[in-house]
């Protein structure tokens, strides 16, 4: 079982967050970066979902399909802890 590292994040200082304030350049940049990452995920996912598994006729074709599908799913999972050696 993987050990969990809990990072304690302090509460923001009173008044430091204002949900009515326009976002700064950093927040805007992070938002655009996240959008681009999500679009890439969507592109990869749509590519795999466009394949009808019933049309895969060889083990090689199935292998490629599984590699593509699991690569997408593994990006969503936590990374396993490295074993020291």
State yes or no: pLDDT of 46 exceeds 90.
Answer: yes
User: What is the chain's percent helix, strand, coil content, to nearest 5?
Assistant: 50, 0, 50
Q: What is the mean pLDDT of residues 67-80?
A: 77
Q: Determine the pLDDT at residue 2.
A: 61
Express as a percent the part of the chain with pLDDT over 70.
82
**Sign of torsion over alpha carbons 43, 49, 52, 58:** positive
The reply to whether the predicted model has a pTM over 0.75 is no
* pLDDT tens digits, 14-34: 888 888 999 999 999 999 999
| Spatial contact of 2 and 78, defined as CB atoms under 8 Å apart | yes
Tokens matching residue 84? 């020291």
Task: Return the higher-pLDDT residue of 3 and 21.
Answer: 21
């Amino acid at each position: 079982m993987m050990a969990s590292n809990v990072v304690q994040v302090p509460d923001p200082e009173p008044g430091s967050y204002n949900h009515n304030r326009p976002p700064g350049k950093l927040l805007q940049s992070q938002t655009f970066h996240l959008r681009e990452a999500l679009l890439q995920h969507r592109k990869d996912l749509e590519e795999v979902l466009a394949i009808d598994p019933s049309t895969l006729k060889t083990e090689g074709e199935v292998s490629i399909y599984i590699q593509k599908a699991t690569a997408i799913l593994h990006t969503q999972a936590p990374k396993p802890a490295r074993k020291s050696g």
